[in-house]
Amino acid sequence: MPKPNAPAPTDLPLPMTPAELAARGWDAVDVVFVTGDAYVDHPSFAMALLGRLLESEGFRVAILSQPDWRSCDAWRQFGRPRVCFAISAGNMDSMLNHYTANRKVRNDDAYSPDGQIGRRPDRATLAYCQRAREAYHGVPIIAGGVEASLRRLAHYDYWSDKIRRPILLDAKADLLVFGMGEHPLVEIVKRLAAGECVRQLRDIRGTAYRLGASEQGLGIRDGGFAETASESSPLLLPSYEEVSSDKAAFAAMTRTILEQTDPSSGRPLVQCCGPEAVVVNPPAEPLSQAEMDRVYGLPFTRRPHPSYGRQKIPAFEVVQDSIQIVRGCFGGCAFCSIAVHEGRVIQSRSEASVLAEIRRVAQSPGFAGTISDLGGPTANMYAMNCTQPDQRARCRRTSCLCPSICPRLNTDHTPLIHLLEAARRVPGVRRVLVASGIRMDLALCSPMFIAQLARHHTGGLLKVAPEHVVPEVLQRMNKPTVETFEAFSEQFRREAAAAGKREYLVPYLLAGHPGCDLPAMIELALYLKRHGLKPDKVQDFIPGPMDVATCMYYTGLDPRTGQAMYVPRGLRQRRLQRALLQWFKPENDADVREALLEAGRSDLIGDRPECLIASRPPKQAAPPKRSKTDRQEKPRVGYRPHRKSTRRKKTGE
């Protein structure tokens, strides 16, 4: 194992070029992190967090950010890594990063300099692993990040509209790290550096590995894994071939994966794919509070790498002065992948650690006095978890909040309230905002928290996520009833008025979710009109890998109950649902009219107050969409970096 290196200067980011290696006096590196994102040395960016952690363990780490994947030359610029390549597509799945819900190429990339598109390929994990293998044969390749994590087993891919194999089988990586990678990655790197081979690392939690055809004599095919009685023995999932041809099998697989996401009770999962198989170990143990404090206390510069000069990284601009205080989410929303990536167990930093980071931010040059966000996936889950851990280990609920709040859940907001009060008193800080998501049903358990939020921690607008109002749709989403939104709204507005402030709620609403039909969207539009709500931005449901709602979209079945359900498919249905959310916009008039007529609600077309649209279209109304466009389900061409459009060039152009 290499000897620990002298600590690197805390005012320098991790090296991105051979010149920076030479300046540090390094003749080689131990780990090369390959990422599809621009390198920002900030704890909100996974490569920075993990790179700094390995650096603190004495390893030499270099960052290969957004390399040209057309050849393996970039992978050779640091020389042969002594330990491994650590590869990630970035903070987002590369397909979600590239394409909209309508499968159109996005106009910008928030994780690239100046928002440039074309800085990473489609399915970046596959391309990066292939180039690493070409560059240095025999160097272990460890895949990780959101893209690899959520594609660790057979999954529905919205962009190709088919079931794809576990990503390990296509990427040919040696190991896959899923979830938050601190524990497994540090153990992997330490054991590789100590001389162990990759096959000896198959016992590490939070990892997945491939079994080749030559290893099929281990009892996989005969079901031996599934028939053992031990609670720690592996479970045999339906094979890739089964879930590709049988939607009921895909739903059963999804349900099993959900039930095995808890680190206390999760069992290894095995899935066969032709002559090969993938084994997914139980999730890694969550970080303790001391470990969270250590990770977020590492010497980040909190800035993009100097090589970007005046170029701006849009994602960094959003989180520049934010502080993450919590990880994980036990909400279990059907369209969200946090539970299968970060986990349901809440991991919180200590108040002292958070305040120390706030003080560092407050002393940094250019700080304007506002902490833009004190939060995480769900800010008001800070310091909350099950009060009976022994019961949690046997619990199979996918949500601690729906259909009702579990009586064993600690819902005390006092630690968060104390933290917010202390944060406001830090010298140099004028405001501390809570801009990330909060759970309204949890907040209603603490009137004091709502009062603090309205009086001190809202910058005029507070984003909340009722998502819908129709009970059947909310049940499919695993969200609380609309009465929860109404009760929270009333309390929040009352507290804001008492403080003499004008604060407003910005509701997040979702169109096109499985289980939602045109009549349900019309009910939502009527609700919004009755309450004077005109959402400026709305969301289209995008089926992301491993989400419960994605299983619903593909199979037409609710994997939790096995019940059949309606699924809005095709661009036309999605377009009509989205238009209903913004019925008040003149350019949506033709689509809203079409949706109302199709649903048999012509009574809502007219000049009466209760109508959604007027009897005659306004002058600004857009013409009806052509049916040919509606039938176009897939992009005509794949992603082509540096091209201004997806139009095919004609011969001779």
pLDDT in tens, 366-388: 899 999 999 999 999 999 999 98
Mean pLDDT of 141-170: 96
User: What torsion do the CA atoms of 91, 92, 97, 101 make, to the nearest 10 degrees?
Assistant: -150
What whole-number distance in Å separates Cα of residue 594 and Cα of residue 587? 13
Asked if 617 and 593 touch (Cβ cutoff 8 Å), the reply is yes
Domain that holds residue 167: 18-213
Confidence at 48, pLDDT banded by 50, 70, 90: very high
Q: Is residue 206 part of a domain?
A: yes
Q: In b/e form, how buried is each residue of 296-315, taking b as 16+ CB within 10 angstroms? A: bbbbbbbbbbeebeeeebeb
CATH number at residue 199: 3.40.50.280
| Domains identified in the chain, total number | 1
Q: At what angle do helices 570-581 and 589-598 cross, to 10 degrees?
A: 110
pLDDT at 139: 97
Q: What is the pLDDT of residue 227?
A: 43
Mean pLDDT of 204-229: 68
Q: Work out the pLDDT band at 617, boundaries 50, 70, 90.
A: confident
Residue 511: pLDDT above 60? yes
On whether residue 627 sits in a domain, the answer given is: no
Question: What does pTM read for this prediction?
Answer: 0.90
**Is residue 470 domain-resident?**
no
Long-range contacts of 98-101 (CB under 8 A, 24+ apart): 98/122, 98/639, 99/159, 99/635, 99/639, 100/540, 100/542, 101/512, 101/540, 101/541, 101/542, 101/574
Q: Is 35 strand, coil or helix?
A: strand
Mean pLDDT of 608-622: 86
Q: Please, are residues 453 and 485 in contact by the beta-carbon 8 Å criterion?
A: no
Q: Does some domain include residue 55?
A: yes
- Average pLDDT for 623-628: 58
- pLDDT tens-place string over residues 58-86: 999 999 999 999 999 999 999 999 999 99
42 within some domain: yes
Nearest to 371, CA basis, from 299, 436, 442: 436
Inside any domain, residue 419: no
Is position 8 within any domain? no
Of 137-146, 187-196, 622-631, least confident by mean pLDDT is: 622-631
In a domain, 86, yes or no: yes
